[in-house]
Chains A and B, each alone.
Chain A
Amino acid sequence: MEQEEKVLGPIPVTVITGFLGSGKTTLLNRILTENHGMRIAVIENEFGEVGIDDALVLSSEEEIFEMNNGCICCTVRGDLIRILGNLIKRRDKFDRIVIETTGMADPAPVAQTFFVDDELRAACKLDAIITVVDAKHALQHLLEVKEEGVENESVEQIAFADRIVLNKTDIATPQEQADVIKAIKSLNAGATIYPAVNANVDLKELLDIGAFDLQRIMDTDPAFLTDTEHMHDQSVTSVGIEVEGALDIEKLNGWLGMLLGEKGTDIYRSKGILSIADSDERYVFHAVHMLFNGEFTTKWEDAPRVNRMIFIGKNLDRKELTDSFMACMATENSKKKSKVKV
């Protein structure tokens, strides 16, 4: 008997984060019940209450593992490695995986799991991190002052997000919405914000984004370089750099290596589309903490060769980042010609 083998590519994985009561489960239910024809496997936290017959639902108790060198980048989610490894063996049963984290979850180990584990890297592709924010109550969480050394999870969840669903706008006043949007943008200028009631966002805006896909980074960040006012009492912010000209690849590698090595603990996410001297192709990279992935992608052809980068993290020094980036330009000539926008 001959059977036609269907070639199955890497499984797209969407991560939904958000503080308790923000509407993560509502969004998950929307994703599961919308008429999109996709078969979805859900990994939900142990307290989840999703009861969807058509979905393959696996519960997960957060198990964060530090690998033996103690580096923050080697902190991964052991539960996800285990569960995803099992799901890979049932690859033909579903088209997509959605991971719903607990309200207190740190998104970094979730994202890092997909960088660090070779089996998952080959079988899955992290599509995007979506953070659901309660428009009425989020600000109080974001402004909450934590003890020294204790992270504010709601800040981290926004800092790591590719898309933000600003939920419950029906119960928030226009001023409350404006305040929380301002706070979000000060933390993460690159994430697109979707105001919503009952998480009613068009799923095309949330699924198949390719936020970690080097080939698609430049297509998917309309707000890549939106500059914003900063909240004075927040140490987490984003810094964008946009500059024309060509970079010296050796200087760039040296700088990025040193920057992410020394300050990767504070830099949550970074990504860039860069113009490299003597290359016709765009150099695209993204990183989660110190874990870096970059490659040459499409040709510039007639497009202006503009370098664009964004850093999101704690204690970022805009001037220092910009100056050190400028020091990577290929020639003195090109530096002088460059226009810097930050």
Chain B
Amino acid sequence: MSKIYSKFDKIYSNNIAKTVGFYPSFLLLFILAIAFTACRPDEAAQIQTPYSLQVPDGFTSPLIPDDNQLTFERIELGKKLFYDPVLSRDSTISCATCHLPSKAFADNLPISVGIQEREGFRNVPSLANVAWHPYFFREGGSPSLETQALGPIVDEVEMDITVAEAAARLRNDEDYIKMSKIAYDRQPNAYVISRSLAAFQRILVSGNSPYDQYTRGNQNALTTEQIRGKDLFFNQLQCATCHTGFNFTNYNFENTGLYENYEDEGRARLTADPNDIGKFKIPSLRNVALTPPYMHDGSLPSLESVLEHYNSGGSTHANKSLLIQALNLTAQQQSDLISFLESLTDETFINNPEYQ
């Protein structure tokens, strides 16, 4: 048997030798081409570094889409885009123009302002802990951070540019081309823009406020006033029915009796259901003291005015939540509640260099 193999090997070797003899340069090129090509499919995967999201104690793990698992390279690309005005028509504003790190990735204007001072029609929400939100925008029409990310870019009163045009700009930039290739193995396009912006926003985690430190056992993290306010918030009033869980929201939609007639119809804008008029997604209260003015239209300038609204029971509206009733709080109780809300400010979040 071994004799047969030896004979075969000999013939085969001779043939190779002949080929090598006749076409040495061709063979060399062929081998190099295969070696080069073989490396390419794994290139992105080899270079990418998985990012492990630090989930604070008491938080659940967020759901992250299979096609957009977190890596340092995706986050870095998203961060670069987030701060780059290239995504606006006249290259004057970026995502960070409205979502300021020092304001918990919101701002202090009643209504957002887009390019050429175009006025939007709603107050800017904070981006803290958006990884846990099940839907986006105040009527909840966008089902993922990926789809949400394109909204402000194309909106005519915000950045007012088509995604195709924005992507074309990025394809003229060597850095973006290289980063997109590594992060998503493709040229800059809608997929890359939406995924990378979503990846960056997912790491914006706020879970180290004095309130968090207190719940983890640091009894000195809250003042006496704040502890009284916490007791009011969770035990004596109905605040925590809606502003519940580690993110201080149940993500439902409620009409809080802000108006008798809503110019902005809220969720009804999406559903066309009259029962949804005036209903808006319940916001998280994390870092709330940093983000005045308040409500969907920025109509209440301070936490005091917000408490006054709830204390009075608000306006009459057919869709108003039954939970909104006059509270008749004393001045001390209102002050305690505000102190508690201030304890949700997370200094490590707003100063985190990883986000800036």
Note whether A and B form a binding pair: no
Residues of A within 8 A of B (CB): none
